[in-house]
Amino acid sequence: MLRLPRSAARQVPVSVLVVLTTVSVSDESSSLHRAADTVIGAVVGVTISLLLPASRLLDGRQTLNRLATGLHDALMAMSDGLRHDWSPDQTEEWRDRAREVRSRMVGAAAEAIGNSRESIRWNLRDRGHIDELVRYEAVLTTFERAAIGVSVIARGIDDHARLSGTAHAAMPSIGELLEALAVAVDRLAATVIGGAADTEFVTALDEVRRRRQRCVEAASRRAREALLADVDQDADPDEEQRRRLDGEWLNYAAILVQVDRIVADLDTDA
């Protein structure tokens, strides 16, 4: 009847049962005082809630910002590590961090923004921010898909590291690409949440595409080296070296596919 959110509506019968239970086990005079105090407190609480309702929009904004920060930090961790020799111990940490962003942070943001939309129906204070909430919902979908892509990238790097079982040579071009992608995520969050100019986000996307081209060239070079090692009958390449060449260019290609998907989602949302 009051169009309360489900969580608040469930508290109503619980509170009534608590009051009735307290009244039933107390002396008559004490019970009347307790009941009167409860009614007065309820009236004051409802009045304050109607006149000065708490805004859930702030909670949605904060959790969405934490999600963007989590994506940025996960990408930067991989970016910093790939600029130097990297090992399975590092990649396991990157994988765990990306999984945490995908599972916990995405869920927290979805719950907060969903609760904001539910409460906005009866919260007069938030009704003027419906357009802002719609933007949050749209960018949440984008960040959710980005979190999936980042998790796939981290898992692919970790799988590749475990196949080799040893420290892997630096991949500076991929590191620079992931850094540019982290900046693009940060700029989109600043545009949607902080109201920053979208020109910075457009510039960040252009930088991602520029660094991607360098990675494409590196992947093509690795692929040619792997192909020549397979077809050269005179040479007798080490089997481990051949596997490294094959895995490296395939790893490049898999990362580029995920980056392209993330960039496409970011660009569409903007």
Task: List, for residues 73-114, the tens digit of each pLDDT value.
Answer: 999 999 999 999 988 999 999 999 999 999 999 999 998 887
Q: Is the pLDDT of residue 25 over 80?
A: no
- Rg over CA atoms, the chain: 27
CA 91 to chain centroid, in Å, comes to: 19
* pLDDT, position 144: 95
Sign of the dihedral through C-alpha 151, 153, 154, 155: positive
Q: What is the C-alpha separation between 28 and 31, in angstroms, rounded?
A: 5
* pLDDT, position 133: 81
Q: Quick one: pLDDT band at residue 40, thresholds 50, 70, 90?
A: confident
**Averaged pLDDT of the chain:** 79
Count of helix runs (H) and strand runs (E) in the chain = 9, 0
Q: Quick one: pLDDT band at residue 211, thresholds 50, 70, 90?
A: very high
Residue 168: φ, ψ to 5°: -110, 150
CA angle, corner 99, sides to 185 and 267, nearest 5? Answer: 25
Other CB atoms within a 10 A radius of the CB of residue 192 amount to 25
Q: Do residues 94 and 74 lie in contact, with contact meaning Cβ atoms separated by under 8 Å? A: yes
* pLDDT, position 32: 66
State the residue for tokens 């970011």.
Answer: 266
Q: Do residues 176 and 81 lie in contact, with contact meaning Cβ atoms separated by under 8 Å? A: no
Lowest-confidence segment of 175-179, 207-211, 230-234, 247-251 by average pLDDT? 230-234
Tokens coding 2: 């009051």
* pLDDT, position 194: 82
Q: Do residues 64 and 189 lie in contact, with contact meaning Cβ atoms separated by under 8 Å? A: yes
* pLDDT, position 233: 46
CA 124 to chain centroid, in Å, comes to: 30
Q: Quick one: pLDDT band at residue 1, thresholds 50, 70, 90?
A: low
* pLDDT, position 160: 82
Q: What is the pTM of this model?
A: 0.72
* Mean pLDDT for the stretch of residues 127-137: 78
Q: What is the C-alpha separation between 77 and 176, in angstroms, rounded?
A: 12
Q: What is the C-alpha separation between 130 and 113, in angstroms, rounded?
A: 11
Q: pLDDT: is 142 or 3 the higher one?
A: 142
Q: Quick one: pLDDT band at residue 24, thresholds 50, 70, 90?
A: low
How do residues 171-208 score in pLDDT, each as one tens digit?
Answer: 899 999 999 999 999 999 999 988 777 899 999 999 99
* pLDDT, position 135: 87
* pLDDT, position 73: 97
Q: Residues near 221 by Cβ (< 8 Å), separated by ≥ 6? A: none
Q: How far is CA 61 from CA 24, 65, 122, 138, 198, in A?
A: 45, 6, 19, 13, 18
DSSP 53: P
Q: pLDDT: is 5 or 105 the higher one?
A: 105
At residue 86, the 3 state secondary structure works out as: strand
* 255 class by beta-carbon count within 10 Å (0-12 exposed, 13-18 middle, 19+ buried): buried
HSE (side-chain half, CA atoms, 13 Å) at 225: 17
Q: Is the pLDDT of residue 5 over 60?
A: no
Q: pLDDT: is 82 or 225 the higher one?
A: 82
Percent of the chain with pLDDT over 90: 39
* Mean pLDDT for the stretch of residues 8-21: 68
Q: How many residues in the chain?
A: 270
